[in-house]
Chains A and B, each alone.
Chain A
Amino acid sequence: MSTHTYKKFEESNAGGLPDKMTVYQDCLNEFNESPVSPKKCRLLLSRLLKLLSHGDTFPPNEATALFFSISKLFQHPNNSLRQVVYLAIKELCMISEDVLMATSSIMKDVQNGSDLVKPNAIRSLTRVLDESTAFSAERLFKSAVVSKDPSISSAALVSSYHLLPIAESTVRRYANEMQETVSDLKTHQHTGSSTEYYRGSSYMSQYHALGLLCKLKSHDKVAMMKLVQQFSSGNILREQLAQIQLVRLVHELLVMDNQLIPEFVPLLSNWVSSGRQSVQLETCKLISALAIHMPTDLFDSMIRTLQMMLAVPHVSFRFAAVRLLNKISMSAPEKIVICNPELESLINDSNRNISTYAITTLLKTGTSKNISSLINTITKFIHDVSDDFKVIIIDCIRTLSLKFPGEWKNLLSFLIDTLKSADGGFQFKNSIAEALFDLIHYVPESKEQALEHLCDFIEDCEFSEILVRILHLLGKEGPNTSKPSLFVRHNYNRVVLDNSIIRSAAVSALSKFALTKGDPTLGPSIEILLKGIEIDHDDEVRDRATIALKLINTSKTDPIVAEEFIKPTYGYDLYALESKLAQYLHENPDGFTSPFDASTIPKYTEDEIKAIELKERQQKMLAATEGTSVNNSSLAGDSSAPKATQDSLIETSDDETLSLKYAEQINAIEEFSSFGTIINSSKPVSLTEPEAEFTVFGVKHLFEDHVVLQFNITNTLKDVGLENVVVVCNTEADSNEIEEEFTIPVDRLLPHEVASCYVSFKRPNKTATYGFFNTINFTTLELDPATNAPFEGDEGFQDEYEIDTLYLQAGDHIKPYFVGNFSAVLDELPYEQVAVYNLKQSNSSLQDLVNKLVVSTNCLPLENSQFVSSETNSHTLKLFGKKVFTDDRVALVVGMIKSKKGTALKVQCKCDDESFCVDLANELIL
C-alpha cells in the first residue's frame, strides 16, 4: 500500500471513533469472503479493538455473530493476522456466547503454531476454556511452561493464574514443570543483539513461575517451607522480582506461624544486609510488620539498612525507606532515633513527599525534651511547602498534643503563630483551628490561654467558616473560664464589625454568657447588648437575638427550660437523626400532622461525644500501624480474602453504627418486640478459629430484663448447606440464677452466607461473670453445585459443632466514657478492689493483652495508655467507663509486668458501686 492510499484509508476515521455499525457490517462481510485478505481484515479488527477498548460493547447476539465470523479467519495462515485475531477473541470472550467453538483451532496453534503466535494463542486459550474443557489443555500448558522461549513460558505461566479459578486441579498437575522453570534459566532469543536490559528481563519467567507456585502452595505450610529451602540457597533466583516474591512467601509463612521465626533469622539477616536494594526493602517491610516477634539485633540491622537507604540517589528507595520508618515510628519511635541526622537532612529533600514524611517521622520520634527544637525546625520549614503538606504536618502536631499533654505550651505557641501568619489557604487554617480545638478539648490546662489567642486571631480572620467555629467554641467554653467578660467583649466586637453569618453565630455565643454562674453581673449586660442587636437589619441575627432574650427572661422563673435551650447538655447522634428525618419526610403518613418523634434517636452528652471522638481517633492511629498486617492477610490468597475483609469490616466499622445495625436487626424480630430498646451491645467476639469451617462471632445485647446472645454464623464450606441451625447454650452448673427463655434458629444457611441465631435469657440481677458453653446443632445437606439447592430426597444428617465459651461479664454493663482528669476522678471514687492475675504460659505480647482488656472491660483507654511501647516489659493501662443502668463511674488501673515465666497483672478497680467493683476486678476473663 503506498503512502498515498494509506493516508486515504486512515483519513476516514482520523479523529473520533469509527462508527460501530459500519465496523460491525464490514467485519461480517469481509471475514466471510473467500479467500480473505489478511491486510484488510487486520485493519478492520484493529478498528473493532479500538471500539472495544473505548468501552463500546455489542449486544450478545451481535458479539456472537462477530465471534463466528472472526473464527473463520483461522483459515488464513498469516501470523500477523493470527495475532490480531487472538486479541479480538480475547476481548469478545467477555461478551459473546459460544466461545468454545474456537477451542480446537487455538489448541492447534499452541501445539504447532509458530513461536510468534504461540504466546497470543496461549493467552486466548485461557479465555475460552471452561471447567469441562480445561483438562484437555493440560498437556499443552505443561509443554508451554517448560518451553525454551521465555515469552511462551511466561505466557503459559501468567495464563495459569487466570485458569486457577476455573480449573485449579489442572494447574496443580503441572506444578513440577513450574519448579523446573524456576531453576531453568532461559536466555532470550535476542541475545545476539542484546543489551543489558534484555538479558536481565529474560529471567522474568522465573518470577512468573515462582509467583504461581506460591499461589498454589499458600496455606500449605510444609510445601511453602520446602519452596523457601529450595530457592533461597545458592544463586538460583536471578530475577529480582522473583527474589522479592520469595521474601513475600517467607512473610506469609511467618504470619501463619510466628514460631518459625528463629529458623529464618539467618536468612533474613542475610537478605537485609546484602543483595539488591529492592530485596532489602522487602525484607525490611517483613521485619517491621512482625517486629514484636523479631530478635533485637535483626530489628536493629533493619533500621541500619533503612538508614542507609535514606541517603541513596534513587528517589523511590528514599521514599519507601522514609515511609517505612514513619510507620515504625508509630509503634517504636525510640528505635529509630539513630536515623534522626539522615531524616533531618531529608527535610530539605527536593521531593516534598519525602520531606513531609521525614518531618512527621521526626515529630513522632520526638521526646518531650527535643520537641521544642523540632518545632523550631518546622516553623522554618512549613512556609516552604504547599498547603497539602502543611495539613499533614499540622495533623501530626495534632496527635502530638494528645501524646504529650505536658508540652501544650510549645505546641500552642506554634499553632497560634502559624495560624496568625499571613500565608496559607482555608484547608490549612481550618486544620490548625481543629488542632487547637483538640488541644482545648483534651488538655484542659491550656484552655484559657488558647481561647485568648483565638480571640486575638478572630480580630483579623478572613475565613468566615473558621470564625463561626471559633465563636461557637467561645460560647461553649467562655462562660466557665475565670474572666468571661473578656470573651464577651471579643464576641460583641464581631457583632459590630462583621457580616451577617458571623453576626448570628456571635449572637448565639453571646446568649450563653447570660447564664454564667460565676459572674452574675454579666446577665443584665448581655441583655442590654442583645436588645441593641434586636434592630439589626438581618433577619437571622434579629431572630436569634429575640429568641435569646425571651429565653433569658424565662430563665428568671424557670431556669431549667432556658438552660436546656441555650446550653444543651446533649447532642443527637447526627447519622441517626438524619436517617430518621429522611424517613419521616419520605413516609409522610398523615401529611405531617403528627410531629417528628425524636425520642428514639440516641442522645449523647458532651463527655460521651468526647469519648466517641477520642475512640475514633485512637482507632485511626491503630489502623495506621496495623495497615501492614491487613495487607498480608489479603496477600494470603483468594479463598481467605472474603473472610479477611469481613474481619476488617467488623474491626474498622464504627462501633456506634455497628450497634445501630444490631438494634435494627433485633427490632425487626417479633419475639424481641416486648423487650424494649437495647441498653448495651458488646463488641463481636470470635468464638472459632478464623479458618474453621463455620466461623462464629458472638454479640451480647443487654435489655432491661433480658440478655440476648446473638451468634453470627458464617458457612465457609463450598457445597454444604445447613438446616435448622440452633445454638445450644449451657450455663455453668452452679449458676441457676440465669434462666433461658427461648431460641431463634436459622432455617437454612447456604454456602458463604452469614446468618444470626439468637438465644434469650432473663437478665440476672448480679453482675458476676457467667460462662455459656455453646454447641451448634444442625442438619448438613450436600448441595448440588449446579443449582445450589440440596439434592432431592437428601434428608441430611444431624451434626454438632462445638464453639468457644462466651462470657457474660461485668464489662458488658459498661459504656466507655471520657474524662479529662483521670487521676482526680480515681481519687474521688469511694470503693476500691484490687486483684492480681498471673498468666503462666502466655505468648501474647503486652499489646495483645491491652487490646483484650479494652474489649472485655468495654472501657475507654485514657491518656494514650492503650499503646504499649515494644521496648518495655511493663505497662500501665488506664480505663474509664460508666455502668449502663445506674451511671456509676468505673475506673480501672491495670499494671502489667511481663517476664520469662509469664505475665503478672495488678488490677485496681474503683467504682461508685461496691459489688460491681468486686465483680469487675475479680472476674476478668483474659
Chain B
Amino acid sequence: MGNLFSSMFDRLWGVNKELRILILGLDGAGKTTILYRLQVGEVVTTKPTIGFNVETLTYKNLKLNVWDLGGQTSIRPYWRCYYANTAAVIFVVDSTDKDRMAIASKELHMMLQEEELQDAALLVFANKQDQPGALSASEVSKELKLAELKDRSWSIVASSAIKGEGITEGLDWLIDVVKEEQL
C-alpha cells in the first residue's frame, strides 16, 4: 500500500520521469571517470570506452539516466544515434590538451547544430584542473568559442574528477536549469 501511495505521489510531482543526460567529449577527457564519480562517489580505474556506459542515478530526488559515450574518433560518428530525448549534454574537455582544443570546439558546435539537441542544456567541464599547465575555465571557454552560442542555457565549470572538485557544483546548475525547462 505504502508503495502505491508513494508512486502516486511521484507521478503527481513528476519525479518518475527520467532525465536523459549525455556525457560527450574527446577521448581521454575524463567522461567515464566523471560518470562513476557521480554514481559511486569515488574514482574507478577506467579503460578507453569502446561504445558507451550507461548508469541510472538519483540526484536530488531526480532520476537521471546518464550516458557516457566513447570519445575515440571511430566512435564519435555514433553519438548521434543517442541524441533523441536528451535533456542535457555534459561536454568534458581536457584542459591540459591545448593542441586539440580546436577539434573539441568543432565537435561541440557540430553536435549542437543537431535538431534533436535544440532544447538540451549544455554544461562544459574544464576538467583536469589538478594537472599543472591546465587552462582556466575562461580560457577554455574562449578556445571553445562558447560565447557564440545562441538560444541555449550553458555554463562552464572548472573541475577535477580525480579530486572531486567542481562536479557537484556543475551538476547542481544543470539540474536547476533542466528542472525549469522540462518539468
B65 at the interface (CB under 8 A from A): yes
Residues of B within 8 A of A104 (CB): 49-53, 70
* A822 adjacent to chain B (CB < 8 Å): no
Q: Nearest chain B CB to A134's CB is how many angstroms away?
A: 11
Q: Is A77 an interface residue (CB 8 A)?
A: yes
Q: Given known contacts A34-B20, A72-B82, A75-B56, is B51 in contact with A102 (CB within 8 Å)?
A: yes
Chain A contact surface mostly: helix
Instruction: Report A68-112 CB contacts with B as 1/0, cut-off 8 Å.
Output: 100110110100000000000000000000101111110110000
Complex: A133 Cα to B18 Cα, angstroms: 33
**Residues in B whose Cβ lies below 8 Å from that of A103:** 50-51
Q: How far is the CB of B33 from chain A (nearest CB, A)?
A: 14
A105 and B56 CA atoms in complex are apart in Å by 14
A101 touches B78 (CB 8 A): yes
**B153-172 vs A, Cβ < 8 Å mask (1 yes, 0 no):** 00000000000000000000
- C-alpha gap A35/B7 in the complex (Å): 14
A619 at the interface (CB under 8 A from B): no
CB distance from B79 to the nearest CB of A (A): 10
Does A368 reach chain B (CB closer than 8 Å)? no
Residues in A neighbouring B48, C-beta threshold 8 A: 136
Indicate whether B75 reaches chain A with its CB closer than 8 angstroms.
yes
B residues near A35, Cβ cutoff 8 Å? 16, 18, 63, 65
Contact A105 B52 (CB under 8 A): yes
Q: Which residues from A are CB-within-8-Å of B51?
A: 71, 100-105
Q: Which residues of A contact B52 (CB under 8 A)?
A: 71, 74, 101, 104-105
Any B CB within 8 A of the CB of A376 = no
In the complex, which residues of chain B have a beta carbon less than 8 angstroms from the beta carbon of A71? 51-52
Chain A residues whose CB sits within 8 angstroms of the CB of B67 once the complex forms: 75
Give B55-110 interface residues, CB cut-off 8 Å to A. Answer: 56, 63, 65, 67, 70, 74-75, 78, 81-82, 84-85
Which interface class (under 10, 10 to 19, 20 to 34, 35 or more) fits A? 20 to 34
Q: Which residues of A contact B150 (CB under 8 A)?
A: none
| Residues in B neighbouring A105, C-beta threshold 8 A | 51-54
Q: With A101-B75, A101-B78 in contact, is A34–B65 under 8 Å at CB?
A: yes
B85 and A100 contact, CB distance less than 8 A: no
Task: Check B53 against A34 for contact (C-beta < 8 Å).
Answer: no
* Chain B nearest CB, measured from A486 CB (Å): 88
Q: Are A32 and B53 in contact (CB under 8 A)?
A: no
* Chain A residues, CB < 8 A from B65: 34-35, 75
Residue with the greatest number of chain A CB neighbours at <10 A, chosen from B48, B49, B54: B54
Q: How far is the CB of A390 from the nearest CB of chain B, in Å?
A: 63
Q: Which of A32, A72, A77, A100 touches B50 (beta carbons < 8 Å)? A: A100
Report how far A104 CA is from B17 CA in the complex, Å.
26
A35 to B58, CA, bound (A): 14
**Which of A77, A103, A133 has the most B CB atoms < 10 Å from its CB?**
A103
Assembly CA distance A775 to B67 (angstroms):
64
Q: Which residue of the partner chain A has the closest CB to B56?
A: A75
Which single residue of chain B is at the shortest CB-CB distance from A139?
Answer: B47
In the bound assembly, the distance between CA atoms of A316 and B68 in angstroms comes to 56
Centre residue among B16, B17, B52 by max chain A CB count within 10 A? B52
Q: In the complex, how many angstroms separate the beta carbon of B87 from the nearest chain A beta carbon?
A: 10
Bound-state Cα–Cα, A104 to B81, Å: 16
- Which residues does chain A contribute within 8 Å of B63, judged by CB atoms? 35
Q: A34-B20, A34-B85, A98-B78 are in contact. Are A133 and B50 (CB under 8 A)?
A: yes
Residues in A with CB closer than 8 Å to B82 are: 68, 72
Give complex CA distance A204, B33 in Å. Answer: 40
Bound together, the chains give a CA A565 to CA B183 distance in angstroms of: 101
The residues in A between 15 and 71 inclusive whose CB is less than 8 angstroms from any CB of B are: 32, 34-35, 68, 71
Residue of A with least CB distance to B53 = A104
Whether B53 and A68, one on each chain, are in contact in the complex, defined by CB atoms closer than 8 angstroms, is: no
Taking the closest CB of chain A, its distance from the CB of B150, in whole angstroms, is 28
**How far apart are A85's CB and chain B's nearest CB, in angstroms?**
12
- With CB as the reference atom, state the residue of chain B lying closest to A106: B51
Answer whether A77 and B81 are a contact pair too, CB < 8 Å, given A101-B51, A102-B51.
no
B-chain residues with CB within 8 Å of residue A102 when the two chains form the complex: 51
A150 to B50, CA, bound (A): 28
Across the interface, B84 reaches (CB within 8 A) one of A32, A77, A107, namely A32
**B residues in contact with A74, CB < 8 Å:** 52, 54
Asked whether, in the complex, the Cβ of B18 is within 8 Å of the Cβ of A34, the reply is: yes
**Residues of chain B lying within 8 A (CB to CB) of residue A77:** 56
CB distance from A263 to the nearest CB of B (A): 47
User: Which residue from chain A places its CB closest to the CB of B85 in the assembled complex?
Assistant: A34
**Distance in Å: Cβ of A854 to nearest Cβ of chain B:** 59
**What's the minimum C-beta distance from A441 to chain B, rounded to whole angstroms?**
70
- How far is A72 from B82 in the complex, measured between Cα atoms in Å? 8
Q: Give bound CA distance, A74 to B16, whole Å.
A: 19
Take A75-B56, A104-B70 as given contacts and tell me if A32 and B85 are in contact as well, using a CB distance cutoff of 8 Å.
yes
Q: Given the complex of chains A and B, what is the CA–CA distance between A71 and B65 in angstroms?
A: 14
CB distance from B81 to the nearest CB of A (A): 4
A72: chain B residues at CB < 8 Å are 54, 82
Q: How far does the alpha carbon of A209 sit from the alpha carbon of B161 in the complex, in Å?
A: 42
**What is the CA–CA distance of A103 and B56 in the complex, to the nearest angstrom?**
19
Bound CA span A108–B54, Å? 10
Minimum CB distance partner of B16 in chain A: A35
Closest residue of B by beta carbon distance from A133? B50
Q: Which residues of B contact A101 (CB under 8 A)?
A: 50-52, 75, 78, 81
Q: Which residue of B lies closest to A73 (CB)?
A: B54
Set of chain A residues within 8 Å of B49, measured between Cβ atoms: 104
Report B182 CB to chain A, min CB distance, Å: 12
Q: How far is the CB of A492 from chain B (nearest CB, A)?
A: 87
Chain A: CB-nearest residue to B48? A136
Q: In angstroms, how far is the closest chain A Cβ from the Cβ of B85?
A: 6
- Extra pairs beyond A74-B54, A136-B48 (4, CB < 8 Å): A34-B65, A35-B16, A100-B74, A101-B75
- Which 9 A-B pairs rank lowest in CB-CB distance, beginning with the nearest? A103-B50, A104-B51, A101-B51, A68-B81, A103-B51, A75-B54, A104-B49, A35-B18, A74-B54
Measured CB to CB, the residues of A under 8 A from B are 32, 34-35, 68, 71-72, 74-75, 77, 98, 100-105, 107-108, 133, 136
Q: Please, could you name 24 A-B residue pairs with CB atoms under 8 Å apart, sorted by A? A: A32-B84, A32-B85, A34-B17, A35-B16, A35-B18, A68-B78, A68-B81, A68-B82, A71-B52, A72-B54, A74-B52, A74-B54, A75-B67, A98-B78, A100-B50, A100-B74, A101-B50, A101-B51, A101-B52, A104-B50, A104-B53, A108-B53, A133-B50, A136-B48
